[in-house]
Amino acid sequence: MSRVQLALNVADLEASIEFYTKLFQTPPAKIRDGYANFAIVDPPLKLVLFADAGEPGTLNHIGVEVESTDQVAAVIARTRELGFDQHVQENVSCCFAVQDKTWVKGPENDWEFYTVLAASPAMSCGTDDECCPAEV
């Protein structure tokens, strides 16, 4: 199942976790220092919270989580055919997960299309490339 990802900057991670747990009737799938994510079934949503990553209450980034590397590759091929600029990252450690992804450049916001390959102990990227931008 694919689902839209909405990543938000928050001031108080604990209060935000409590609020979104109640709002979506779903506990966080992952909590780390300054970070939490929710895998919400209804509506299908990956909600990601970043503490101290930007102005509280603002959008950190948007994306779409897909099930496989093949689906990421299909997005890469389709957006190349459309002539969209993008930044492809393979086997990158980001947001406490190893991922294959592409960042598709939009007029105002970049869209991250990604699949999770494995867990990772690190928040930041395993490459020199920016992975989870505070502002896109």
Instruction: Give the model confidence (pLDDT) of 86-122 as tens digits.
Output: 999 999 988 888 999 999 999 888 999 999 999 888 7
Q: What pLDDT, on a 0 to 100 scale, did the predictor assign at position 134? A: 38
Looking at per-residue confidence, does 133 or 30 come out higher? 30
Picking from 92, 7, 86, the residue whose alpha carbon sits closest to that of residue 46 is 7
- Dihedral over alpha carbons 62, 79, 127, 37 (to 10 degrees): 20
Instruction: Give the model confidence (pLDDT) of 36-73 as tens digits.
Output: 999 999 999 999 999 988 999 999 999 999 999 999 99
pTM: 0.80
Instruction: Please report the DSSP string for 93-105 in residue order.
Output: EETTEEEEEEEE-
CA distances 51 to 7, 35, 54, 58, 91, Å, are: 11, 6, 8, 11, 25
